[in-house]
Amino acid sequence: MGEEPLAQGIERFAAYLRNERRYSPATLANYTRSLRQLCEFLETQGVTHWREVRGDQIQAFIAKTHRAGLSPGSLRDRLSAYRSFYRWLAREGEAASNPAIGVRSPKALRKLPQVLDVDEVSALLDFPANDPESVRDHALFELLYSSGLRVSELTSVRWCDLDMAEGLIRVTGKGRKTRIVPVGSKARTALQCLREQDRPGADDPLVRGRLGKPLTPGAVRARLKRRAKDQGVWKRVYPHLLRHSCASHVLESSGDLRAVQELLGHADIGTTQIYTHLDFQHLARVYDAAHPRARRK
């Protein structure tokens, strides 16, 4: 591997993720940064090749970064990057074992996602769409909530991905995985108004700015924040809040966790199960308010 086996290994792994696995630029940057920081630490330990690394060295690095203030969630992401890297090294014949397998990150208190209730969603979305900008905002916000999209999925979708007749849209999520999700009637009506206004081509982005270019995720966040303020919704409103709200409302009405998992595109149902905790929280509030034996004197 030349004079810098540690650094060169990272660069070759990054090329593999970029060219073969088609990782997003953001994920690729996170993996590369995490591995380079581990590399710097290992060099201070006298390590010259990845096959020399021991589990206790990785554990020591995780402990060091935790003491420096890195959150348990970020540490878990780092360990995931290290395990993936060593699986690749094993396939390349450059490591016989995976020293990151037995390393654990500190446990984090699981934070429940914030959601809007149905009345708050109505207050946010029920605004008059009587000019080009409000027509556009109405369509994209209705779609975010209706289909539980990530903002990156919304900004990358094209008109040819939308089947208005069937009420379906094809989106590309994390890991370049494609899924088809339903689009509600109110979102379809809003999208039809947007189509009549913009007269787009099939390959045009669904969400465009004034100059016809795709809106960035940051622009969507800014528009949603401004619209929430105009509508008198004083919670902190952001695109992922609409995704959380969609999932919570569907689960609350259906009780079908697998369907919500498919809607959101979660690879692991454990990720989706966070919404069951929200459902139980709602049940607890209703119980405390309604059950005669639950009320405190």
**Cβ neighbours of residue 39 closer than 8 Å, sequence gap 6 or more:** 6, 7, 10
Co-location of 29 and 169 in the same domain: no
Give the active site residue among 150, 188, 223, 244.
150
Co-location of 254 and 124 in the same domain: yes
Q: Which among 91, 107, 139 is the end of a domain?
A: 91
**Cβ neighbours of residue 89 closer than 8 Å, sequence gap 6 or more:** 9, 13, 50, 51, 95
Range of the domain at 162: 118-288
How many Å separate Cα 43 from the centre of its chain? Answer: 34
Domain count, the chain: 2
- Alpha carbon dihedral 283, 289, 290, 295, in 10-degree steps, equals 120
Residue 249 appears among annotated catalytic residues: no
Give the active site residue among 23, 31, 82, 275.
275
The per-residue pLDDT string of the chain (297 residues; one tens digit each, 9 = 90 and over) reads 344 578 889 999 999 999 998 888 888 999 999 999 999 999 998 888 999 999 999 999 999 998 888 888 888 899 999 999 999 999 998 888 999 998 887 776 566 678 888 899 999 999 998 898 999 999 999 999 999 999 999 999 999 999 999 999 999 888 788 898 889 999 999 999 999 998 989 999 998 877 777 888 999 999 999 999 999 998 899 999 999 888 888 877 777 778 777 888 777 776 766 766 655 555 455 556 655 545 554
Distance between CA 297 and CA 288 in Å, rounded? Answer: 12
| Residue carrying the six token digits 């779609």 | 143
Residue 82 appears among annotated catalytic residues: no
Co-location of 145 and 31 in the same domain: no
Give the active site residue among 83, 195, 221, 240.
240
Give the active site residue among 51, 225, 266, 282.
266
- Which tokens go with 284? 């607890």
